[in-house]
Chain A
Amino acid sequence: MHKTIDEYGKVEEKETALVEKEEKSPSMKQKLTASFIRVDGKDAKLAMAHMYVAFIALLLGGLAGLLQVLVRSGEFTLPLGIKIGYYQVLTVHGILLALILTTFFIMGFQIASISRTAGAFTNVQRKIGWTGFWLMLVGTAAAAAMVLLNKATVLYTFYAPLKAHWIFYLGLALVVVGSWLLCIMQILKYYRWKKENKGQTSPLLTYMAVVNSILWITCSLGVAVEVLFQLLPWSLGLVERVDILLSRTLFWYFGHALVYFWLLPAYMAWYVVVPKVIGGHIFSDALARLSFILFLLFSFPVGIHHQLTEPGIEGFWKFVQVVLTFFVVIPSLMTAFSLFATFEMRGRELGGKGVLGWFKNLPWGDARFLVPFIGMVAFIPGGAGGIVNASYQMNQLVHNTIWVTGHFHLTVATAVALTFFGVAFWLIPHLTGRTLTPKLNYLGNVSGILWGIGMLIMSLSMHLAGLLGAPRRSEYSTYGGAEMAYDWIPYQIAQAVGGTILFIAILVIMYIVVQLIWFAPKGEEEFPVATVAPGAEKTPAILENFKIWGVILVALIVFAYTMPIIDIISNSPAGSKGFMPW
């Protein structure tokens, strides 16, 4: 079935023609099947290595989440045999799901996407990628060991003055450096493609992966500076005190863009994969690229909106960054419009009538569509909550309450996570040479619906408890019998119910993933890549001019952060010694 061909299709639009050409000329050497292009075998191994780590992280992190919600309900205590505390479990949950699952999955997905749409990586690029993977894995193991030894119970935000063992920080640094190598591998491939295809628009999926790689390198510089120049010397005892405000500002310079690092790969699937799954087209290549560039630009000069209650940052700069935060509404609604348009055009092609009649014609039984779609729906209230969080005054209503936890469980833990699972349902069999059977597809839908129900219960109760003042992060407590705290308990029990349903969903997903890796029937599973709708406008070349966007990005960062950082450094107090209250 497989035929080996030397050169890859230059642009996605030519794919169909290429297949026809290949069928007529069997002697051509390119990795094509009769119906679609496959990811190169060596690239597939690298992508799959990331998937193994990502899904082990999902299982262990999900288990930690289950233990947390059960403890917080007040009805359970950690089993006697478990010699770890609540905050250790919370740290495991946050690090494994928010940092490890996401970073490994994203790198695997992006590598596969580039290999699929721009062709195989070179051996040198692949070596860089493998080096990055192993560095990330060693870093993960080092950080995990410290957490399990109770030497780093600092939660996933690792805020100073909570002080972890230096090996924990070194592990985090290795994860970041490893991820840089993986990003460099992808960027090198992009520039090689551009060199070999002068004057042509790059494949959309490759372009998106490269934008996200640039975003990741730029944002993780902040956390790298924090870890290397503040936390590591401090934890090693080289300096006694650490500037808390500076460390938190550097963290949130990284932390908010991190949200977009999670989100953009989900958008890659929404813009390019989902249209193909439903049998439609990308609404507009130019719109998709512009929205990615806008996300890149608007994700940086906004981190201080996470620090609105922080003393020591001037109100003016908080206001400036709040205003800049709201600019993200533009690419967000551009994305919503584009997706609805893709759905409507396809639904009408299939005979849908009336204003919204096309909606029912979409392939609701296909897990590759339904599961990400549930994520898209969750993103609407998620986005609304985000606007509340970022509103300068209203932030006081929800800051440090469990509302915030409910918010990011809608965005990253539903919109992003369900999209990643929907991707995994076709990507893993594509990489392993197996197929998503009707039974596994059905189970995929079950997992998505279970996730949606579980998250609805858990996240809604988190939001409502947060509005009643319930704090985030904290273990179960009656707060000395305070009347207010009793009002939170029914919501905490509801969180345990929702969290339990979510864990059942994780078990179903793990079953599907194990089947897709080792047991599903051998065969061909498509890596869906849609083409642009006929009649869409040509993509302006400026969207690929990264020099221009780079200059604008740096200018925005310099504008938003220079004065606040100067203020923080020049007016900072002596700093804090470390605390290890666990």
Chain B
Amino acid sequence: MAHKKKAADNLKGTLYMTFAVGFVIIIIWAFCFGLFTDRF
């Protein structure tokens, strides 16, 4: 999709949203890892 260079077509929102998904996953994992290290 590199055919257009317009600011409105730069998929910046998509980039942020995809990183947000990854961030949410990491946060949940880290929370559970905290529980794990407390318990074991």
Contact pattern, A 369-388, Cβ under 8 Å of B = 1, otherwise 0: 00000000000110111011
> Is A405 on the interface with B (CB-CB < 8 A)?
no
A283 to B14, CA, bound (A): 12
Contact pattern, A 355-366, Cβ under 8 Å of B = 1, otherwise 0: 110110000000
B residues in contact with A355, CB < 8 Å: 12-13, 16
A residues in contact with B17, CB < 8 Å: 336, 340, 356
A residues in contact with B36, CB < 8 Å: 393-394, 396-397
Which of A343, A356, A381, A397 meets B35, CB within 8 Å? A397
B13 in contact with A380 (CB, 8 Å) = no
> Is A536 on the interface with B (CB-CB < 8 A)?
yes
> Restricting to A388-423, which residues have a CB under 8 Å from any CB of B?
388, 391, 393-394, 396-398
A residues in contact with B14, CB < 8 Å: 337, 340-341, 343-344
> Restricting to A311-362, which residues have a CB under 8 Å from any CB of B?
333, 336-337, 340-341, 343-345, 348, 353, 355-356, 358-359
B40 in contact with A396 (CB, 8 Å) = yes
A residues in contact with B1, CB < 8 Å: 283-284, 341, 533, 535-536
Contact pattern, B 1-30, Cβ under 8 Å of A = 1, otherwise 0: 101100011011110111001101101110
> Restricting to A530-545, which residues have a CB under 8 Å from any CB of B?
533, 535-536
> Is A467 on the interface with B (CB-CB < 8 A)?
yes
B32 in contact with A397 (CB, 8 Å) = yes
Q: Which residue of A lies closest to B4 (CB)?
A: A535
Within the complex, the shortest CB–CB distance from B13 to chain A, in Å, comes to 5
The B interface is mostly helix, strand or loop, or mixed, namely helix
B residues in contact with A533, CB < 8 Å: 1
A336 in contact with B18 (CB, 8 Å) = yes
Q: Report the number of A-B residue pairs with Cβ-Cβ less than 8 Å.
A: 75
Size category of the A interface is: 20 to 34
- A340-B28 contact given A283-B1, A284-B1, CB 8 Å threshold: no
Q: Which residue of A lies closest to B18 (CB)?
A: A337
B24 in contact with A384 (CB, 8 Å) = yes
Within the complex, the shortest CB–CB distance from B9 to chain A, in Å, comes to 7
B18 in contact with A340 (CB, 8 Å) = yes
B residues in contact with A356, CB < 8 Å: 13, 16-17
Within the complex, the shortest CB–CB distance from B24 to chain A, in Å, comes to 6
Which of B4, B13, B40 meets A359, CB within 8 Å? B13
A336 in contact with B13 (CB, 8 Å) = no
Size category of the B interface is: 20 to 34
A383 in contact with B25 (CB, 8 Å) = yes
A340 to B32, CA, bound (A): 28
A348 to B32, CA, bound (A): 38
The A interface is mostly helix, strand or loop, or mixed, namely helix
A residues in contact with B21, CB < 8 Å: 333, 336, 380
- A384-B18 contact given A344-B11, A345-B9, CB 8 Å threshold: no
Q: Which residue of A lies closest to B24 (CB)?
A: A380
A551 to B15, CA, bound (A): 34
Within the complex, the shortest CB–CB distance from B28 to chain A, in Å, comes to 4
Q: Which residue of B lies closest to A396 (CB)?
A: B40
Within the complex, the shortest CB–CB distance from B36 to chain A, in Å, comes to 5
Within the complex, the shortest CB–CB distance from A227 to chain B, in Å, comes to 35
A residues in contact with B18, CB < 8 Å: 333, 336-337, 340
A residues in contact with B28, CB < 8 Å: 381, 384-385, 387-388
- A348-B9 contact given A380-B24, A387-B25, A388-B32, CB 8 Å threshold: yes
Within the complex, the shortest CB–CB distance from A535 to chain B, in Å, comes to 4
A13 to B28, CA, bound (A): 41
A568 to B16, CA, bound (A): 46
A380 in contact with B25 (CB, 8 Å) = yes
A533 to B9, CA, bound (A): 13
Within the complex, the shortest CB–CB distance from A171 to chain B, in Å, comes to 39
B39 in contact with A397 (CB, 8 Å) = yes
Which of A336, A341, A393, A535 meets B11, CB within 8 Å? A341
B residues in contact with A284, CB < 8 Å: 1
B residues in contact with A388, CB < 8 Å: 28-29, 32
B residues in contact with A383, CB < 8 Å: 25
Which of B4, B25, B33, B35 meets A467, CB within 8 Å? B35
B8 in contact with A348 (CB, 8 Å) = yes
Within the complex, the shortest CB–CB distance from B1 to chain A, in Å, comes to 7
Which of B1, B27, B29 gathers most chain A CB within 10 Å?
B1
Which of B3, B14, B24 gathers most chain A CB within 10 Å?
B14
Q: Which residue of A lies closest to B9 (CB)?
A: A348
B residues in contact with A283, CB < 8 Å: 1
B24 in contact with A344 (CB, 8 Å) = no
B9 in contact with A381 (CB, 8 Å) = no
Tell me the B residues contacting A by CB distance below 8 Å. Answer: 1, 3-4, 8-9, 11-14, 16-18, 21-22, 24-25, 27-29, 32-33, 35-36, 39-40
- A-B residue pairs, 8 tightest by C-beta: A384-B28, A535-B3, A340-B14, A384-B25, A340-B17, A341-B14, A388-B32, A337-B18
**Residue contacts A-B, CB under 8 angstroms, 24 given:** A333-B18, A340-B18, A341-B14, A344-B13, A345-B9, A345-B11, A355-B12, A355-B16, A380-B21, A380-B24, A380-B25, A384-B29, A387-B28, A388-B32, A391-B33, A394-B33, A394-B36, A396-B40, A397-B32, A397-B36, A397-B39, A533-B1, A535-B3, A536-B1
Extra contacts besides A381-B28, A384-B28, A397-B35 (5): CB < 8 Å: A284-B1, A340-B13, A341-B14, A344-B13, A348-B8
